[in-house]
Structure 1
Amino acid sequence: MIWSIDPTWSTVPSLEQRSIVKVAGAPAPSALDPPRFRRKGTSMLSENPTQPELNKEVVRRFYEAVLRVPGGPDFATIKELTDEQEVELNWGHPDSGVHRGAAIGPARHRMHELTGLDLSAISIDELIADGPTRVLVVATNSGTDVHRNPWRMTVLELVDVVNGKITKKRSFYQDTALLRDISLEREAALAQKTGEA
Structure 2
Amino acid sequence: MPTTEMTEIAERNRDVVRRLYDSVMSGDLAGIAPLRSADYRVTQAPGHPVPGTRIGDDASAAGGLVFSALGIEGLTVQEIVADGPYRVIGLVELYGKDADGQPWTMPVAECFKVENGVITDIRPYYWDMVEVQRIAGTPRRLKPLENRSA
TM-score range, shorter chain: 0.7 to 0.9
Paired position in structure 2 for 1:163 = 116
Superposed structure 1 runs of 4+ greater than 3 Å apart: none
Kindly tell me: are residues 95 and 78 of structure 1, through their superposed partners in 2, closer, same or farther at Cα, counting changes over 3 Å?
closer
Could you tell me how far 1:90 is from its partner in structure 2? 3.1
Paired position in structure 2 for 1:106 = 61
Is residue 66 from structure 1 mapped to residue 24 from structure 2 by the alignment?
yes
What root-mean-square deviation, in Å, do the aligned CA atoms of Structure 1 and Structure 2 show?
A: 2.5
Query: Per residue, is there more strand in 1 or in 2?
Result: 2
- Tell me, in whole angstroms, the C-alpha distance in 2 between the residues paired with 1:64 and 1:55: 14
Q: Which runs of 5+ in 2 are unaligned?
A: 140-150
Instruction: Identify the match of residue 134 of structure 2 among 177, 181, 188.
Output: 181
- Tell me, in whole angstroms, the C-alpha distance in 2 between the residues paired with 1:166 and 1:134: 10
Paired position in structure 2 for 1:81 = 35
Q: Which runs of 5+ in 1 are unaligned?
A: 1-45, 187-197
Q: Which has the higher contact order (CA 8 A, sep 6+)?
A: 2
Q: Give identity over the alignment, percent.
A: 31
Q: TM-score, normalising length from structure 1? A: 0.61
Kindly tell me: are residues 114 and 107 of structure 1, through their superposed partners in 2, closer, same or farther at Cα, counting changes over 3 Å?
same
Kindly tell me: are residues 112 and 94 of structure 1, through their superposed partners in 2, closer, same or farther at Cα, counting changes over 3 Å?
closer
Instruction: Identify the match of residue 92 of structure 2 among 112, 126, 139.
Output: 139
Q: Secondary structure at the match of 1:141?
A: strand
Instruction: Identify the match of residue 153 of structure 1 among 92, 106, 116.
Output: 106
Could you tell me how far 1:144 is from its partner in structure 2? 1.1
- Tell me, in whole angstroms, the C-alpha distance in 2 between the residues paired with 1:137 and 1:155: 8
Q: TM-score, normalising length from structure 2? A: 0.79
State the structure with more CA Rg: 1
